């Protein structure tokens, strides 16, 4: 379908027609809701106020897995987002995500496990030691940031439910709530957004569930109240606003692969040597910088994760 858009395409790649119709469809969906846009977010309100408005997270440990690179500002991280449930433009999530209610929030962990569980989010958080993890983040569109997440290893959550020997993959599902997510009233993607990892990727110590940013709870545009972060993969693997984590036997469907399989594979490891069919992945623009920098294999995490893919042809399994 023409109105379907691939994630993160450079603006130059998007035909005017697609952008026009995708945007119109979204605005029509927003107009159909009771809440207008004016009260949701004043673009003039300084980022510091937004940061202060979030609850502080207590007892954070500093992680040895953090990069020493300088983090992007809170303003950068919360104003330039992909979250198609809230629109196609980078500024849409900040404008429209405020209406999403993130409490109460339950998250189900089920499937091929001995002890399926359903947690109130705050209980799940209490079960885990929160850490600050400063990670590089690379979007398939060609931009990158450094983000000080707060979270805990996904492995801790998975171990607690005791995966069976049949569990080979992990499937993640975003909330489906069109009344608060206007993008879900359009067909830019099939909803809800879904993602997946192989079990060993999911269990890797770098893979975290993030519940915060800059020491505070997540703002909605970044995937509140809980989102995945897989720093060696393109950004779209890092699914937001998760309600279900299922251990499964077979490779699960993923939203962007389903939408454009020739462009987005299941693995989606950051790989400067494999071009996107419509643009090079060799370089990236760090938000806030002028000159582009070289993209690193596995986004700079090769020492830790390359071993997961030994013997695989990552040109085929992109
Ligand atoms: N549910 C959901 N998760 C999502 C997306 C989305 O549209 N919906 N976009 C993905 C993409 S393409 C990117 S680059 C990151 C952006 O995360 P950030 O806004 O926190 O930087 O979220 C990912 N997770
Ligand atoms: Mo992305």
pLDDT for 194-250, tens place per residue? 999 999 999 999 999 999 999 999 999 999 999 999 999 999 999 999 999 999 999
Q: Are 151 and 65 in contact (CB under 8 A)?
A: no
Q: What's the rounded Cα separation, in Å, for the pair 290 and 156?
A: 39
- Domains of the chain in start order, with CATH, are 61-305 (3.90.420.10)
Q: Is 309 exposed, middle or buried (0-12, 13-18, 19+ CB in 10 A)?
A: middle
Q: Are 185 and 178 in contact (CB under 8 A)?
A: yes
| pLDDT higher than 90, residue 5 | no
**N-to-C CA span, the chain:** 24
102 φ/ψ angles, rounded to the nearest 5 degrees: -105, 10
* pLDDT for 174: 99
Please tell me if the CB atom of residue 256 comes closer than 6 angstroms to any atom of ligand 1.
Answer: no
Asked which of 7-21, 143-157, 163-177 is least confident by mean pLDDT, the reply is 7-21
Q: What's the rounded Cα separation, in Å, for the pair 118 and 244?
A: 9
Please tell me if the CB atom of residue 7 comes closer than 6 angstroms to any atom of ligand 1.
Answer: yes
Sheet holding 242-248, edge to edge: 117-120, 106-111, 242-248, 169-174, 194-198
Buried b (16+ CB within 10 A) or exposed e, 169-203: bbbbbbbeebebbbbbbbebbebbbbbbbbbebbb
In the chain the beta strands, taken as DSSP E runs, fall at: 61-62, 106-111, 117-120, 131-138, 143-153, 169-174, 194-198, 208-213, 216-217, 227-229, 242-248, 283-286, 293-294
- How far, in Å, are 4, 5, 12, 142 from residue 15 at the CA level? 11, 10, 8, 18
| pLDDT higher than 90, residue 119 | yes
Model confidence at 14, pLDDT cuts 50, 70, 90, reads very low
| pLDDT higher than 60, residue 136 | yes
- How far, in Å, are 104, 160, 217 from residue 259 at the CA level? 31, 33, 31
Any idea of the CA torsion for 148, 300, 141, 168, to the nearest 10 degrees? -90
| 241 Cα–ligand 1 center, Å | 10
Asked which of 12-26, 30-44, 112-126 is least confident by mean pLDDT, the reply is 30-44
Rounded to an integer, the average pLDDT of 65-93 is 97
| pLDDT higher than 70, residue 18 | no
Q: What's the rounded Cα separation, in Å, for the pair 191 and 180?
A: 13
* pLDDT for 29: 86
Please tell me if the CB atom of residue 81 comes closer than 6 angstroms to any atom of ligand 1.
Answer: yes
All residues at 6 or more sequence positions from 107 whose CB lies less than 8 Å from its CB, including other chains = 118, 119, 121, 124, 226, 242, 243, 244, 245
Q: Report the atom number in ligand 1 closest to the C-alpha of 84.
A: 7
Q: What's the rounded Cα separation, in Å, for the pair 227 and 313?
A: 29
Q: What's the rounded Cα separation, in Å, for the pair 27 and 32?
A: 9
Model confidence at 3, pLDDT cuts 50, 70, 90, reads very low
Rounded to an integer, the average pLDDT of 43-52 is 78
* CA nearest neighbour of 129 among 57, 29, 190: 57
Q: What angle do CA 74, 82, 196 make, to 5 degrees?
A: 110
Output the pTM of the full model.
Answer: 0.92
* pLDDT for 45: 59
DSSP code of residue 56: B
Buried b (16+ CB within 10 A) or exposed e, 264-287: bbbbbbbbbebebeeeebeebbbb
| pLDDT higher than 90, residue 43 | no
Write out the residues surrounding ion ligand 2, Cβ under 5 A: 7-8, 82, 139-140, 235-236
* Ligand 1 pocket mutation, candidates 83, 180, 196, criterion most atoms within 8 A of CB: 83
Q: Closest Cα to atom 11, ligand 1: which residue?
A: 236
Model confidence at 294, pLDDT cuts 50, 70, 90, reads very high
């Amino acid at each position: 379908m023409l109105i379907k858009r691939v994630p993160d395409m450079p603006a130059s790649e998007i035909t005017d027609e697609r952008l026009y119709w995708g945007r119109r469809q979204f605005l029509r969906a927003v107009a159909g809701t009771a809440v207008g846009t004016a009260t949701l977010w004043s673009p003039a309100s300084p980022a510091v106020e937004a940061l202060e408005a979030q609850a502080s997270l207590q007892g954070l440990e500093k992680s040895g897995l953090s990069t020493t690179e300088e983090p992007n500002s809170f303003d950068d991280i919360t104003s330039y987002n992909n979250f198609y449930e809230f629109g196609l433009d980078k500024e849409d999530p900040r404008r429209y995500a405020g209406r999403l209610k993130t409490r109460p929030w339950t998250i189900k962990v089920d499937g091929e496990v001995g002890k399926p569980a359903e947690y109130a989010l705050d209980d799940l958080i209490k079960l885990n030691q929160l850490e600050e993890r400063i990670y590089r983040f690379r979007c398939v569109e060609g931009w990158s940031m450094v983000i000080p997440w707060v979270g805990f290893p996904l492995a801790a959550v998975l171990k607690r439910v005791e995966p069976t020997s049949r569990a080979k993959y992990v499937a993640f599902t975003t909330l489906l709530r069109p009344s608060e997510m206007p993008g879900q009233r359009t067909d830019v993607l099939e909803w809800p957004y879904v993602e997946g990892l192989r079990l060993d990727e999911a269990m890797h110590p770098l893979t975290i569930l993030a519940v915060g940013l800059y020491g505070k709870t997540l703002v909605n545009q970044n995937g509140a109240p809980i989102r995945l972060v897989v720093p060696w993969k393109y950004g779209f693997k890092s699914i937001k606003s998760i309600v279900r984590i299922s251990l499964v036997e077979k490779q699960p469907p993923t939203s962007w692969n389903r939408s454009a399989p020739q462009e987005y594979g299941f693995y989606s490891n950051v790989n400067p040597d494999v071009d996107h069919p419509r643009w090079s992945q060799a370089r990236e623009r760090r938000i806030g910088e002028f000159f582009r920098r070289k993209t690193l294999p596995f986004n700079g995490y090769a020492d830790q994760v390359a071993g997961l893919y030994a013997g695989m042809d990552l040109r085929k399994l992109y």
